Amino acid sequence: MPIPLHEKSLLRNQGYINGQWQDADEQRVYPVINPATGQTITMVADMGASETKTAIKAADQAWPAWRSLTAKDRAAILKRWFERIKIHAEDLARLITLEQGKPLAEAKGEVGYGASFIEWFAEEGKRAYGSVIPSPLADRMLLTIKQPIGVCAAITPWNFPLAMITRKVAPALAAGCTVVCKPAEATPLTALALAVLADQADIPPGVFNIVPCDASHVPEVGQTLCESPVIRKLSFTGSTAVGRRLMQQSAPTIKKLSLELGGNAPFIVFDDADLDAAVEGVLASKYRNAGQTCVCANRIYVQDTVYQVFAEKLAARVQEMTVGIGTEPGVMIGPLINSAALNKVQAHIADALAGGAKVLVGGTLHQLGGLFFKPTILTDVSQSMRIAREETFGPIAPLFRFHTEEEVITMANASEFGLAAYFYARDIGRVLRVASAIEAGMVCVNSGLLSNEVAPFGGVKQSGIGREGAREGLEEYLEIKYVTLAGL
């Protein structure tokens, strides 16, 4: 099948190590599948422990020269990478839609969002300030300086094949670290295209390496990265179960960790909310990427006095949503990523229906079949159902009913996760009370979209450790060195 790219050289199927395109040992390859059609897009190198070790060595050797550049010099290189991405935004978006399935308009949004981290951190890298601390001793001066932590590993998910890489790699490189990245097995092509553009931007060999692999090699690549004493830091975005495992594997080498894990976002509609705005917020937060983002609304709590009218308004809008292949015009919901994702969605619905929930809209596979699922609304959902506890990662909006503010805060916080939370209300006292009472790393009031490059993204509880984006995102790749000068 021809790949619809303007710039054919963006399509790569080898790994990128030490500035070279490399085959896997024994020429191992695996298929990358288009989730919309089930067809193989291309075969890609299936690397393992030995190629990962080669990449770690390359990143280690590249580190001294890269960290020795001034932040301004690194910024100039990063800005070239940003420019290359902007020039090829259309092709990158096509690659994202091809291997991941999201509608092309969303894929273009991801390219812009992903590129923004490179632009932001290129600048922010110049502001890795240390400090001078007033000394308690007369003959001393106390200083702190910020230094790059070293060689870093990045393990990224398939739901944002471009942005989850740049959100980690841009601050790492800006800080003066080098990176070995293992992209998700489902979406290596966008990662490799990013490497083509990094190469064109003259990011030096070894500074940014990509080791693609199939699911069967993921554990050994992950283990090699975690167990390597050369890797000083691991940044991971993915499920809580895998994050926990990586944390365990990283314990012997006491690695610094950034973990951006699962979420189970509450979305609360209070009786004083602008209901039309709240409906738009649910559409943006719940159905974006077919519900496959870690900040997607997963539990929609609606106050009983507005429950009925809100459900009707939401149903009217959800019924209009077009499902289809992401490259076709007007499509708002693409396929799910794979059959495991589809099974989970169906299991969550079956469990909810068995517990007394009702289908208001959708609830079944779309007529296109395959991995296409109808956008769905469930009503009369309760806290005991699976959908209340687990991240669904699909286009299902479960509506829960609540009576009081205190009750809904308890319901919202009854989760092991604490990534994003949303609520709609106008009363300023309520807005401030709820924003501070909700256990989440990010609270979004009166909107369904919250992430950008200047704000700290991350979770509390079992949703993770650390922040990405913002000033805080740079700190994740820096160590503080305290220097004391005595005998002055």
How big is the site for ligand ADP, counted in residues (CB under 6 A)? Answer: 14
* Annotated catalytic residue, options 51, 99, 110, 260: 260
Applying CB under 6 A, among 155, 302, 306, 352 the residue interacting with ligand ADP is: 155
Place of tokens 């509880």: 461
Question: Is residue 218 involved in binding ligand ADP (CB under 6 A)?
Answer: yes
> Of 161, 184, 158, 174, which is closest to residue 111 (Cα–Cα)?
161
Closest CB to ligand ADP among residues 74, 344 = 344
Assess 157 for contact with ligand ADP (CB under 6 A).
yes
Listed in sequence order, the residues at least 6 apart from 70 whose beta carbon sits closer than 8 Å to its beta carbon are none
Binder of ligand ADP out of 238, 281, 335, 464 (CB under 6 A): 238
51 is an interface residue for ligand ADP by CB under 6 A: no
- Candidate list 17, 104, 184, 332; residue touching ligand ADP; CB under 6 A: 184
Q: What is d(CA 302, CA 381) in angstroms, rounded to the nearest whole number?
A: 11
Q: How far is the CB of 289 from ligand ADP (least distance, A)?
A: 12
Q: Name which of 32 and 443 has its Cβ closer to ligand ADP.
A: 32
| Nearer CB in complex with ligand ADP: 363/395 | 395
The pattern of x and - marking residues 112 through 151 that bind ligand ADP according to CB under 6 A reads: ----------------------------------------
Binding mask 298-337 for ligand ADP (x = CB under 6 A): ----------------------------------------
Piece of the chain touching ligand ADP by CB under 6 A; list 142-150, 152-160, 195-203, 344-352: 152-160
Among 24-32, 71-79, 134-142, 236-244, the segment contacting ligand ADP (CB under 6 A): 236-244
- Is residue 185 within the footprint of ligand ADP (CB under 6 A)? yes
Tell me: does residue 165 bind ligand ADP (CB under 6 A): no
Minimum distance, C-beta of residue 343 to ligand ADP, in the bound complex (Å)? 12
Which C-beta is closer to ligand ADP: that of 172 or that of 315?
Answer: 172
Three-class secondary structure assignment of the chain? CCCCCCCHHHCCCCEEECCEEECCHHHCEEEEECCCCCCEEEEEECCCHHHHHHHHHHHHHHHHHHHHCCHHHHHHHHHHHHHHHHHCHHHHHHHHHHHHCCCHHHHHHHHHHHHHHHHHHHHHHHHCCCEEECCCCCCCEEEEEEEECCEEEEECCCCCCCHHHHHHHHHHHHHCCEEEEECCCCCHHHHHHHHHHHHHCCCCCCCEEECCCCHHHHHHHHHHHHHCCCEEEEEEECCHHHHHHHHHHHHHHCCEEEEECCCCEEEEECCCCCHHHHHHHHHHHHHHHHHCCCCCEEEEEEEHHHHHHHHHHHHHHHHCCCECCCCCCCCCECCCCCHHHHHHHHHHHHHHHHCCCEEEECCCECCCCCCCECCEEEECCCCCCHHHHCCCCCCEEEEEEECCHHHHHHHHHCCCEECEEEEECCCHHHHHHHHHHCCCCEEEECCCCCCCCCCCECCEECCEECCECHHHHHHCCEEEEEEEECCC
Smallest gap from Cβ 10 to ligand ADP, in A, equals 21
**Of these, 219, 355, 370, 456, which contacts ligand ADP (CB under 6 A)?**
219
- Least Å distance, CB 421 to ligand ADP, is 21
**Is 463 an interacting residue with respect to ligand ADP (CB under 6 A)?**
no
Residue 409 found at the interface with ligand ADP (CB under 6 A): no
Residue among 67, 86, 245, 317 that touches ligand ADP (CB under 6 A): 245
**Annotation says 260 is catalytic:** yes
Write out the binding residues for ligand ADP, residues 361-380 only, by CB under 6 A. none
How near is the Cβ of 262 to ligand ADP at its closest, in Å? 8
Q: Which of the residues are catalytic? A: 260
Residues that bind ligand ADP in the complex, under the rule CB under 6 A? 155-157, 182, 184-185, 218-219, 222, 238-239, 242, 245-246
